[in-house]
Amino acid sequence: MLVPDYIPQTKLSRILELDVKIKKVPFTQWWDAILSRTYDGIGQSTFIHPCDYNVMAGHGTIGLEILEDLPDVDTVICPYGSGGLITGVSSALKHHNKSIKVLACEPETATPLHVSLKAGKPLAFENHRSSFVDGMGGKNVLEEIWPYVSHLVDSSIVLSLEEIAEAIRILINRNSLVTEGAGAAPLAAALSNKVPNGTIVCVLSGGNIDSNKLVTILNGQVPN
């Protein structure tokens, strides 16, 4: 498995439990592999892309579960990284009811979808930088995903790192749920007063956060 070199140790440890070979590379090299859909040294192995149709179809089952449990949902908020998750979820939701709003959320350090939706075309985010919100933060909107997200995502909410950290604290203190930055970001968006009133679902997409970063957040600070 090809992973960026800033991957949290918690996430890395869980991957290693599956007896998977890990290759750590700098973020730019990792992102280039996503753009090109290949990586030197992969050999005869199959390259599974995060926006592969089968992967996105799997994400679509999240949308089906939401509809099963809450058929009158008005708005669903998903984190945005490469676009595969929100494309799958929104495809299922809007096939059932086109009036359901599907909103993305992105950290202020990486907002390629926000700038792309404003421009009406896929763009790169020029001031990209990494943060503790490692489950999101692509440099640009992938060309192959743009035809989907441009029609399936209603808007993208930009969040500060402080807002995301606060959402992590709320989920732990009020709900006893441990989430990583990307997982807590939809709640941060829901609390930002940038979401229409109604029945809202936040997709909490991950709980892999290193303990040292979690302690920093619980102490009221934002990790480096």
pLDDT digits (tens, 9 = 90+) for 29-88: 888 898 888 888 777 778 888 899 999 999 999 999 999 999 999 999 999 999 999 999
> Among positive and negative, which fits the CA dihedral 123, 196, 88, 47?
positive
Sequence-separated (6 or more) residues with CB below 8 Å from residue 63: 76, 88, 89, 90, 91, 92, 93, 96
pLDDT at 41: 73
DSSP string across 88-145: HHHHHHHHH-TTSEEEEEEETT--HHHHHHHHTS--B-TT----S-TTS--SB--TTT
Contact 89/142 with Cβ under 8 angstroms?
no
**Selection from 21, 28, 168 nearest residue 107 by Cα:** 168
Distances (CA, A) of 4 to 1, 29, 135: 10, 8, 11
Q: pLDDT confidence of 224, banded at 50, 70, 90?
A: confident
pLDDT digits (tens, 9 = 90+) for 74-122: 999 999 999 999 999 999 999 999 999 999 999 999 999 999 999 999 9
**pTM listed for this prediction:** 0.92
**Selection from 218, 212, 150, 221 nearest residue 8 by Cα:** 212
pLDDT at 98: 96
Contact 222/213 with Cβ under 8 angstroms?
no
Contact 161/109 with Cβ under 8 angstroms?
yes
pLDDT digits (tens, 9 = 90+) for 138-178: 889 999 999 999 999 999 999 999 999 999 999 999 999 99
The rounded mean pLDDT for the chain is 93
pLDDT at 198: 96
pLDDT at 46: 82
| Distance of alpha carbon 76 from alpha carbon 86, whole angstroms | 10
